């Protein structure tokens, strides 16, 4: 009798054995966080890698994982580390809230270990750790503890929607529930860690977004999407609205010692806890179709003209600097009159595109002392470092690295 997944019982029952046979011969067995070949798995390693792998590819994660393991070989080391050290290790990988949750989660895990003598042993206990959702918790249970656990991350959703022709929008809760039910139905009670790794490998190496390698897939005989020649129609996801754009001047404020002013971003918001040049948001005057984006004239946001937007877009430190510059009639100049004016540095984030225009201002010792006093009085975290020292010692977002490389 047909199932709610448009697949009869026989393919459902043979799904895991076929996948595990494929994984044994063709799967990845050399990733540094894999625990399926160990007798005593390490949940710390699995937790760390799973957090890093959220929205980030394996090839990007590998060097970051190695650096973290060198510097923080145990969860106690990670919990005891200063945030700036963790931020510096994470810088460039993006989605920085993960790093904040990682640090907070490490402290929570140490508390659990101190209280119970071991890592959390249940799905609910892992989901109580900051930044750990149902799929990450399932992966840790299955691969980090060798217990039963189910995963349903992006790779798994792609495999399942194609194999079972699930045509609901995967951003909707009803489709998510359906996929979780199917994932639970297919996951074997024994070797769920092997199965989880096999599903990840399937989605990462064969059942990829574009040009899936169906000829090597152990599930192709009963994959409905393959039978219909519609592999790339799945998973179904509503079209995203075009991302809006924001525009900022990135102020390279330099003192007499050729040191640049760096501000630590607030914990919440974009680049939380990382270090950045002061940013000065601007509004772009609408250009007609014949005018290039870069030719649209920028207009600085003013407190009097748009107080709500000003306070939303400028951090406290940036408001102080912005007002100090205006009081002293100081104007930063573009570092280039050609390339950067024609093509600002573009940095795409989850919800918008950000165009950053580097501008430079050199101030004398008296002015730098005055600015220091204003920032210190407001308890702003700031440092004066040359570009190379900043790159070597601070956690800088990739956008800031792009700017200092110009």
Buried b (16+ CB within 10 A) or exposed e, 143-178: bbbbbbbbbbbbbbbbbbbbbbbbbbebeeeebbeb
124 burial class (0-12, 13-18, 19+ CB within 10 angstroms)? exposed
- Residue that the structure tokens 């580097």 belong to: 358
Encoded tokens for 181:
């039910």
- The whole-angstrom separation of Cα 158 and Cα 204 is 10
- How does DSSP classify residue 215? G
Angle at 257 between CA 254 and CA 261, to 5 degrees: 35
Report the C-alpha gap between 13 and 17 in whole angstroms.
8
184 noted as active-site residue? no
The single-letter DSSP state of residue 222 is G
Residues 6+ apart with CB under 8 A from 64: 52, 89, 90, 93
9, 50, 88, 190: which is the annotated catalytic residue?
50
Q: Residue written as tokens 């059942």?
A: 207
Q: What are phi and psi of 88, to 5 degrees?
A: -65, -35
250 touches 277 (CB < 8 A): yes
Long-range contacts of 154-158 (CB under 8 A, 24+ apart): 154/203, 155/199, 155/200, 155/202, 155/203, 155/204, 155/207, 156/183, 156/199, 156/200, 156/203, 157/235, 158/203, 158/207, 158/209, 158/234, 158/235
Give the residue among 108, 110, 111, 72 at the shortest CA–CA distance from 90: 72
Q: Please give the positions annotated as active site.
A: 50
């Amino acid at each position: 009798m047909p199932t709610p997944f448009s697949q009869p019982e026989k393919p459902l029952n043979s799904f895991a054995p076929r996948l595990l046979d494929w994984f044994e011969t063709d799967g990845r067995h050399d990733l540094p966080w894999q625990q399926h070949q160990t007798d005593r798995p390490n949940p710390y390693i699995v937790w760390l890698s799973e957090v890093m792998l959220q929205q980030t590819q394996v090839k990007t994660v590998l060097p970051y994982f190695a650096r973290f393991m060198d510097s923080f070989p145990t969860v106690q080391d990670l919990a005891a580390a200063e945030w700036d050290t963790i931020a510096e290790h994470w810088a460039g990988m993006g989605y920085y809230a993960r790093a904040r949750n990682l640090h907070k989660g490490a402290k929570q895990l140490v508390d659990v270990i101190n209280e119970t003598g071991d890592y959390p042993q249940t799905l609910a206990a892992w989901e109580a750790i900051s930044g750990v959702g149902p799929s990450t918790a399932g992966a840790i249970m299955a691969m980090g503890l060798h217990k039963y656990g189910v995963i349903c991350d992006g790779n798994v959703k792609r495999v399942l929607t194609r194999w079972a022709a699930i045509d609901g929008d995967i951003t909707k809760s009803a489709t998510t529930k359906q996929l979780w039910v199917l994932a639970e139905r297919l996951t074997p009670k024994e070797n769920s860690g092997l199965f989880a790794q096999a599903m990840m490998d399937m989605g990462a190496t064969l059942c990829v977004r574009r040009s899936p390698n169906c000829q090597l897939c152990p599930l192709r005989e009963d994959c409905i999407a393959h039978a219909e020649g519609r592999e790339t129609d799945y998973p179904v996801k509503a079209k995203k609205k075009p991302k809006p754009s924001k525009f900022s001047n990135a102020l390279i404020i330099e003192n007499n010692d050729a040191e640049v002013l760096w501000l630590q971003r607030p914990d919440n918001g974009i680049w939380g806890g990382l270090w950045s040049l002061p940013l000065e948001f601007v509004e772009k005057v609408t250009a007609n179709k014949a005018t290039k984006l870069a030719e649209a004239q920028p207009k600085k946001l003013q407190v009097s003209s748009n107080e709500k937007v000003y306070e939303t877009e400028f951090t406290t430190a940036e408001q102080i600097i912005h007002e100090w510059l205006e009081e002293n009639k100081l104007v930063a100049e573009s570092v280039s009159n050609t390339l950067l004016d024609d093509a600002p540095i573009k940095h795409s984030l989850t919800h918008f595109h950000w165009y950053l225009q580097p501008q430079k201002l050199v101030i004398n010792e008296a002015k730098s002392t005055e600015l220091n006093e204003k920032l210190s009085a407001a308890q702003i975290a700031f440092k004066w470092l040359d570009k190379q020292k900043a790159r070597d010692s601070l956690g800088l977002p990739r956008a800031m690295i792009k700017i200092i490389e110009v």
